[in-house]
Amino acid sequence: MIDHDASFPAAYSVREADVTSGPPDVSFSTDGVSKLAPAFSIDVVCATARRWRGDVFGGTDPLRLLVNGAAPDVLLVVAGGVGYAIPVEEPEAYNVVELRPLTEVLPALNAGLIICVGLTKLLALGPDGSEAWRSPRLGADGLSGVRIGSDFVVATGWDAPSQREIETTLDLKSGEPIAKT
């Protein structure tokens, strides 16, 4: 079963579907991702009563997740660390999240953003599912302890030159670094 983060309200319903239940209406894939078999399939029912089924192709990383977007008609789907921001009324117009692999996804409710965590950077998705900002490199080998405050986000990463972990605080609206400790 795939986890579903419903922190933001949605004007659609989504559930994992049986991969063998027939051909999909749309397939979500990108360059560098095997298209031999989908990681999973989803069934979506939109507020307009439109229904569609999609096959989602992903990478080999473990993260598989459904996340309600900051706008009620956007869905973020993560399959094997590959993210797709999908406008549910026009699923063929999906955007690939240009950060791989995604290791965690966090809603920033106060800012209307979805924070995508990669190995060395953060990327924020705006309400329409497009990239709002991308952080500079915050660590050399994986980020940990990413947490969101009212107007900031904090990430801890390994700093190779100093041979220690460094905590970086970023402005939540712009992604600009505010402080490093």
Residue in 46, 51, 53 with CA at minimum distance from that of residue 17: 53
Tokens of 1: 């079963």
The whole-angstrom separation of Cα 146 and Cα 124 is: 13
Q: What percent of the chain stands above pLDDT 70?
A: 100
The residue ranking higher by pLDDT, 160 or 77, is: 77
Residue 1 has a pLDDT of 85
Is residue 19 scored above 90 in pLDDT? no
Pair 154, 167: CB distance under 8 Å? yes
Rounded to the nearest integer, the mean pLDDT of the chain is 95
CATH number at residue 76: 2.40.10.480
The phi, psi pair for 41, rounded to 5°, reads: -125, 155
pLDDT in tens, 59-71: 999 999 999 999 9
- pTM listed for this prediction: 0.95
43: domain range? 3-180
DSSP per position, 93-152: G-EE-SSSS--EEEEEGGGTEEEEE-SS-EEEE-TTSSEEEE-----SS-EEEEEE-SSE
pLDDT above 90 as % of the chain = 90
**What's the number of domains the chain is made of?**
1
Q: Rounded to whole angstroms, how far apart are CA atoms 83 and 101?
A: 8
